[in-house]
Amino acid sequence: MTNVQIKQHDLGNRGGEVISDTTATTGDWYMITSTDDTTAFTTLTGNITGAPTLMKSGVTIYGQFSAITLSAGEVIAYNR
């Protein structure tokens, strides 16, 4: 059996923020989860080449993200 080490940020223990408007938001996030079926990004700045511009509710992407601007929908951005 393999031991798995769970880090605090893996559980969201470092907090995060709900983003639901079209204002540019900056931060230091490692995970973004869509909470709306119509989530669309105008800007998603990070280390993921070809990151999605549309996300359905429940979809999560991982990486290092520093700026989010939505054109629709809502996400939870988890602090890194």
pLDDT in tens, 34-75: 999 999 999 999 999 888 889 999 999 999 999 999 999 999
DSSP code of 67? Answer: E
Q: Does position 10 have pLDDT exceeding 70, yes or no?
A: no
Supply 60's token pair.
């999560």
Report the alpha-carbon distance of residue 53 to residue 46 in Å, rounded.
13
5 three-state secondary structure: coil
Looking at residue 26, its pLDDT comes to 98
- The residue type at 48: I
pTM: 0.84
Supply 65's token pair.
């993200």
Looking at residue 1, its pLDDT comes to 47
Secondary structure tally for the chain: helices H, strands E: 0, 6
